[in-house]
Structures are given as structure tokens and as C-alpha cells.
């Protein structure tokens, strides 16, 4: 009976030692360890990439991995990845809540496009409309937008619009136009100029709304 127990414990110890994940990290043997980890078939490709990425991150940050097994390092990497995914989900949820709050308060639309050709400077001109759906007067407004063609490819990005000189009363629709400098050497400006308005899609993000009573949405 004692022999069987001894043999069992020896077998367990042998299996444990043969698992490359249980080896302690060493920069001197890293190349060989990586080869053994890959050939052991005990890790998925995703885990291998995660482990390699965490080791590289630790090197760049100067963080010591001494006395840690590859399994310890992999667990740290997975825990960090899980935390990042949770933060991403929380950020996406907060962004969705903000977007709903903004859309409940007002609607911003790009309603038309034209081109102004000046003697010295020309501009892509975009017409826009803002509907105040709240019961408060809008004192200032800031929003941004990107432009896509009908294939979904981005035509223009990073457009900003600020409204500070005109107030928008409750349930009022405010319309105006904005001029964006045209550069004949920039693909973005050329594409916008040459595209039909009906072929363009505008993805608008309302960033901040200031009301005359001092309240702010952002």
C-alpha cells in the first residue's frame, strides 16, 4: 500500500515538473521555454500571445517577473485583460447613456451641402438644423461628426461645430450653415466637394449643451 502511494506521489510530481507552465520565468531560458510551451499543447494560441504580450509589457515597464512561474504570469495577464474588458463595457454603457440623454434633449441633423468658391479661399458648406426637444432654452451647443459614403467608408472625420451666439427656445428648430476651409490637395476635402449629399451619411455626436438656466448636459 505504501509503495502504491509513493509511486502515485512520484507520478504526480513528475507530471507537475514536466508542465512547462510550472517553470519559473527566466530571461536566460525564455527562448527555450517559449518553444516548450508551444510544443506542450497546454496553451491556446490566444494564451500564448497573452503571455508573450505580458512579458514584453513587464520588460518595457521594468517590472520584475522573478520567482513567478509562467502560470503565475499568465494568470496576471488574464486578470488584467478581464479588468480592461470590464472597463471597456462600463465606458460603452456610460457613452450609450449619454447619447440617449442627449437625443432625448435635442436633435442635430446635417440637412444639405454646397460649395463656396472665393477669390482666395473656398469652402465646403454644410447646412445643419437643431431641434430643442427640452423645456429649457439652449444657450450654447457643441457637437462633432464624421462623414461616410454609401459604402460605409469614411470620407471625413473630426468635424467640430460650436453654437454660442444664438439661443434656441424650447421646441424651436434652429437652422444655419457652417463653412469648412477647402484644401485642393486634401483627399478629404475633395471627396466631400465631389460627393452627392444624398450619398453621404453623417454620424453626429453631441458633446455639450448649456442652457440659459445654467444647467449643462455633457
Domain locations in the chain as residue ranges:
20-100, 104-217
30-39 pLDDT, tens per residue? 888 888 888 8
What is the radius of gyration, based on Cα positions, of the chain?
30
Query: Sorting pLDDT into bands at 50, 70 and 90, what band is 1?
Result: low
What class is the 104-217 domain? mainly beta
Q: Is residue 16 scored above 50 in pLDDT?
A: no
Q: Is residue 13 scored above 50 in pLDDT?
A: no
* Residue 170 neighbours by CB distance under 10 Å: 12
Comparing 195 with 2, the larger pLDDT belongs to: 195
CA 21 to chain CA centroid, nearest Å: 33
d(CA 193, CA 168): 30
d(CA 145, CA 159): 5
* Residue 99 neighbours by CB distance under 10 Å: 12
Q: Report angle CA 51, 53, 58 to the nearest 5 degrees.
A: 95
108-149 pLDDT, tens per residue? 999 999 999 999 999 999 999 999 999 999 999 999 999 999
d(CA 140, CA 162): 8
Amino acid at each position: 500500500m505504501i509503495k502504491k502511494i509513493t509511486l502515485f506521489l512520484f507520478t504526480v510530481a513528475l507530471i507537475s515538473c514536466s508542465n512547462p507552465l510550472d517553470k519559473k520565468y527566466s530571461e536566460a531560458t525564455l527562448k527555450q521555454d517559449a518553444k516548450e510551451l508551444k510544443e506542450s499543447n497546454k496553451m491556446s494560441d490566444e494564451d500564448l500571445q497573452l503571455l508573450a504580450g505580458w512579458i514584453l509589457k513587464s520588460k518595457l515597464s521594468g517590472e520584475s517577473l522573478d520567482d513567478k512561474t509562467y502560470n503565475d504570469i499568465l494568470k496576471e495577464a488574464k486578470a488584467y485583460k478581464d479588468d480592461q474588458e470590464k472597463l471597456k463595457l462600463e465606458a460603452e454603457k456610460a457613452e450609450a447613456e449619454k447619447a440617449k440623454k442627449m437625443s432625448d434633449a435635442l436633435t442635430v441633423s446635417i440637412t444639405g451641402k454646397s460649395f463656396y468658391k472665393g477669390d482666395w479661399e473656398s469652402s465646403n458648406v454644410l447646412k445643419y438644423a437643431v431641434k430643442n426637444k427640452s423645456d429649457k432654452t439652449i444657450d450654447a451647443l457643441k457637437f462633432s461628426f464624421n462623414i461616410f459614403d454609401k459604402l460605409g467608408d469614411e470620407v471625413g472625420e473630426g468635424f467640430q461645430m460650436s453654437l454660442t451666439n444664438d439661443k434656441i427656445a424650447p421646441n424651436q428648430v434652429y437652422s444655419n450653415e457652417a463653412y469648412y476651409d477647402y484644401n485642393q490637395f486634401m483627399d478629404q476635402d475633395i471627396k466631400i466637394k465631389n460627393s452627392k449629399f444624398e450619398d453621404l451619411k453623417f454620424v453626429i455626436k453631441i458633446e455639450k449643451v448649456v442652457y440659459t438656466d445654467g444647467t449643462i448636459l455633457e
